[in-house]
Amino acid sequence: MSDVKCTVSNCYFWAKTNLCSADSILITSDRSVEPHPGMAVGNEADSALIQAIGSTPASSIAETACHTFKAR
């Protein structure tokens, strides 16, 4: 994986020097997942949901979110 920077130090995937060590990362527009607050990467049911949602356009960085977070 390329260098994905992350500053969320209490995430399970956070690595030294502020890198994300996850094998995969889920990033969506906030609006597309509002009805699904528990959506995260790695869950089989969520994979089906991701396919159902399809593309999730955003018009600014503030409208996007990483859903890979897993608390330590």
Q: Domain ranges for the chain, please list them.
A: 23-66
**What are residue 14's DSSP bridge partners?**
20
Decide: helix, strand or coil at residue 27: strand
Mean pLDDT of the chain: 80
CB burial readout 46-63, b (16+ within 10 A) else e: beeebeeeeeeeeeeeee
Is this model's pTM higher than 0.75 or not? no
Is the confidence at residue 9, as pLDDT, over 90? yes
In the numeric block, the tokens 């960085």 are attached to 61
Say what the pLDDT of residue 42 is: 61
8, 35, 59 from 11: Cα distances, Å:
6, 23, 27
